[in-house]
Amino acid sequence: MPAGTAEGGVLVPITTLASYSVQRLEVLDSEGTVDKSLMPEVSADDIRGLYRLMVETRALDVRMLKLQRQGRLGTFPQVLGQEAAHIGAASACRPADWIVPAFRESGVYLMRGVPMVSLLQYWGGDERGALVPEGARLLPVSIPVGSHMMHAVGLAWAMKRDGEDAAALTFFGDGATSAGDFHEAMNLAAVFRAPVVFVCQNNHWAISIPVRRQTATDTIAQKAVAYGMPGIQVDGNDVFAMHRAVKEGLERALAGGGPTFIEAFTYRMSDHTTSDDAKRYRPPEELEVWSARDPLSRLAAYMKLNGLLDEAEEAAFGEEADEKVAEAVAAYEALDPPPPDEVFAHLYDELPPDLAAQQTALLSRVRTGV
Amino acid sequence: MARLNMVEAVNQALAQEMERDAKVVVMGEDVGRDGGVFRVTDGLIDRFGEDRVLDTPLCESGIVGMAIGMAIAGYRPVVEIQFSGFAYPAYDQLVCHASRMRNRSRGRYTVPLVVRMPFGGGIRALEHHSESMEAIFVHVPGLKVIIPSNPYEAKGLLAAAIRDPDPVVFMEPKRVYRAVRMEVPEESYVVPLGECRVAREGADVTLISWGAHVRTAGEAAERLAADHGIEAEVIDVRTLSPFDEGTVAESVAKTGRAVVVAEAPRTGGFASEIAARLMDRVILRLEAPVRRVTGFDAIPPLGRLEDYYQPDVDVVVKETIDTMEF
């Protein structure tokens, strides 16, 4: 009998078993002013480092788009507008923490020591660019949506079992929250109290589907409640808020508190990938609104207000980033094409005889041209 | 030497590998306290504890996905999927991630993972509990696919699979689980992956099979010899991927005739792959077309009609005689 109905003349009371609230964290406003009580502990050097990385990430992204349009690079997903969300999040990690990205986090690769030329090489269709530096604790780009999330859970479980003082951070988008794997990863992490921080980059669009068609909930953050883990919405264009929220999540994880879910409220200012045309489905006024919330200009405004950046330095950061990108592009375009045996190089520890025969056939075809 | 069935042999292999290597962990639905629905993991949780025998929530994709992360971090997870018919949610993880991580990361990360799953029919089970879908795993580059035929093979092949640096799908013919006992050495040993086994020697025709139907083929061979004077060589494929086509081709080059016995649906099945490879290798030595004795391209029926679906000794004998008389 449902609660609240009469049973033998006695009213069964309705009781509240659970209730929830959803919090949002903002530290830095669009004028560059911070709420000092919420400002994370970051040094002036840290801030300059974050700014430099965000500028470089954008410079690379902008240049990659031009290269792609000129036929000098393959299809790739731009990160324009999401620099604070993923760089701010990853900046809270220590080198021992595993990072499990999706595919729109190029700043994370740069942060972990992947050279720009490798990113160009990878998105240019040469898989050798996917090799991350040894010990970087960083997984390669994962194209299928959401299914990489449980890898972070497994890595976290292993670190916990090994008694390591480290956790895992994984990125995914708002579209991933509709996939069953999101549920399985969140649930597994919570059940095993795995030290994971889940960062959903809610960039409001999964190709052409707006977030309101992706979920019927008011926020994505509230989904955490159903898994028994803390969840929070964070201004994803605020690098300080992202840093702070992820740092808290990592600290909770290391203290044995299990996983944390963070909705990074941000915006995809680009198309989905270079093969997409957002003009087909996206109202142009939306882009104007979000341009005013640009994560880079916001951080620059803060730095100027606090004597960390002047006009000349701002220009210098930009020029240095452009030079670095130009050097990487030159190095990328000077690379030899991948040798055909790369097709077989990393299939198994040892190539089985029938595959070795297929490799021989390919190499002979390449050599003889028939 | 103790006489073990396949359930006991697999259990012993798991225990010995866990003993040998602290990074080996067993995980899956009901594998802990319950010891698995077939009792294959019985007693492991008491010996090795909850940290190495993980009862997981019910989520095949999540279990294999989590195991991939564990494997990247240096563990050797052995996942149990309760029935192969429930492996499809995890197929995504096997195809999109486990099989590709080495390639995707250009060798930086490897996934030494074993996914065990009981498969095949013959036990009058419910829908989804009788399929023989090995071909869908064989088709995936980067995976290895192992199917033991008896307790001795199961123990040695599983030990090899657990020690292998690449992801292995280990399909256990549930029909054999408790049907056969044989002498199995107590000490740990390895049956190498990637090698077929000649289970019976013969000069007239080669019967090729794997899993439960190695026994069907073996019994057919005995009857062919006794009743028809036909000496059949029986090959237990054991490793479907990577496939040891050399051993099979060598046998068929000798006998000139081949019959492949499998319970999987015929079209696109591994029996067809073997037939194609024999065309490549020994077509001029063949005295008859390679015959496939398989399940139908039909959904395995429930118990009352199951015997019509499964190849049996009678049909193997008949098809072999037809092949001899071609």
Position B190 in a domain: no
Dist. CA B116–CA B119, nearest whole Å? 10
Position B192 in a domain: no
pLDDT on residue A369: 86
Q: Return the structure tokens found at A210.
A: 């707006």
Dist. CA A206–CA A84, nearest whole Å? 19
Instruction: Please answer yes or no on whether B246 and A353 come within 8 Å at the CB atom.
Output: yes
Instruction: Looking at the structure, tell me whether residues B231 and B304 fall in a common domain.
Output: yes
Structural domains of chain A sorted by starting position, each given as residue range(s) with its CATH number in brackets: 41-337 (3.40.50.970), 339-370 (no CATH)
Residue A2 in this model has a pLDDT that exceeds 60:
no
Q: Which amino acid is it at A65? A: L
CATH number at residue B112: 3.40.50.970
A6 — pLDDT class (breaks 50, 70, 90) = low
**B302 min Cα distance to partner chain A (Å):** 30
Tell me A29's DSSP state: -
The shortest CB-CB distance from A147 to any of B97, B144, B164 is to B97
- What angle, rounded to 10 degrees, do the helices at A116-123 and A44-69 form? 30
Provide the pairing of β-strand B205-209 with A196-202.
unpaired
Instruction: Looking at the structure, tell me whether residues B206 and B154 fall in a common domain.
Output: no
Buried b (16+ CB within 10 A) or exposed e, B28-58: bbbbbeebbebebbbebbeebeeebbbbbee
Could you tell me which of A111, A110, A84 has the C-alpha nearest to residue A301?
A84
A245 — pLDDT class (breaks 50, 70, 90) = very high
Instruction: Looking at the structure, tell me whether residues B203 and B179 fall in a common domain.
Output: no
- Of A94, A281, A346, A365, the catalytic one is A281
Residue-averaged pLDDT of chain A: 96
Position B189 in a domain: no
Dist. CA A103–CA A142, nearest whole Å? 6
Instruction: Looking at the structure, tell me whether residues B9 and B137 fall in a common domain.
Output: yes
Instruction: Please answer yes or no on whether A353 and B242 come within 8 Å at the CB atom.
Output: yes
Cα-Cα-Cα-Cα torsion B2, B7, B12, B13, nearest 10 degrees, comes to 120
Position B11 in a domain: yes
Instruction: Looking at the structure, tell me whether residues B243 and B174 fall in a common domain.
Output: no
Instruction: Looking at the structure, tell me whether residues B217 and B292 fall in a common domain.
Output: yes
User: For A18-31, how does the pLDDT look when each residue is reduced to its tens digit (9 = 90+)?
Assistant: 999 999 999 999 89
Q: Which segments of chain B have a pLDDT < 70? A: none
Instruction: Looking at the structure, tell me whether residues B249 and B156 fall in a common domain.
Output: no
Name chain B contacts of A180, Cβ cutoff 8 Å: 61, 89
Total domains in the fold of chain B: 2
CATH number at residue B283: 3.40.50.920
Reply yes or no on whether A272 is catalytic. yes
Instruction: Looking at the structure, tell me whether residues B203 and B106 fall in a common domain.
Output: no
Position B138 in a domain: yes
Dist. CA B85–CA A85, nearest whole Å? 41
pLDDT on residue A5: 56
Instruction: Please answer yes or no on whether A184 and B59 come within 8 Å at the CB atom.
Output: yes
pLDDT on residue B101: 98
Q: Among B137, B154, B183, identify where a domain stops.
A: B183
Q: Among B160, B183, B206, identify where a domain stops.
A: B183
Instruction: Looking at the structure, tell me whether residues B133 and B166 fall in a common domain.
Output: yes
Tokens 């400002």 belong to A39
Instruction: Please answer yes or no on whether A147 and B92 come within 8 Å at the CB atom.
Output: yes
Question: Do A248 and A260 meet the contact criterion of CB atoms below 8 Å apart?
Answer: yes
Position B191 in a domain: no
Instruction: Looking at the structure, tell me whether residues B172 and B207 fall in a common domain.
Output: no
Instruction: Looking at the structure, tell me whether residues B248 and B113 fall in a common domain.
Output: no
Position B270 in a domain: yes
pLDDT on residue B64: 98
The shortest CB-CB distance from A151 to any of B97, B110, B141 is to B97
A4 — pLDDT class (breaks 50, 70, 90) = low
- Reduced to 3 states (helix: H, G, I; strand: E, B; else coil), residue B11 is helix
Q: Among B183, B212, B238, identify where a domain stops.
A: B183
A1 — pLDDT class (breaks 50, 70, 90) = very low
CA neighbours within 13 Å on the CB side: how many for B239? 23
Question: Do B78 and B18 meet the contact criterion of CB atoms below 8 Å apart?
Answer: no
Mean local confidence (pLDDT), A244-253: 98
Position B80 in a domain: yes
Structural domain for B137, as ranges: 3-183
Could you tell me which of B69, B47, B50, B58 has the C-alpha nearest to residue B113?
B69
**B167 min Cα distance to partner chain A (Å):** 9
Q: What is the ipTM of this complex?
A: 0.96
User: For B63-113, how does the pLDDT look when each residue is reduced to its tens digit (9 = 90+)?
Assistant: 999 999 999 999 999 999 999 999 999 999 999 999 999 999 999 999 999
Instruction: Looking at the structure, tell me whether residues B203 and B138 fall in a common domain.
Output: no
- The secondary structure of B230-293, three-state, reads CCEEEEECCEEECCCHHHHHHHHHHHCCEEEEEEEECCCCHHHHHHHHHHHHHHHHCCCCCEEE
Dist. CA A28–CA A45, nearest whole Å? 18
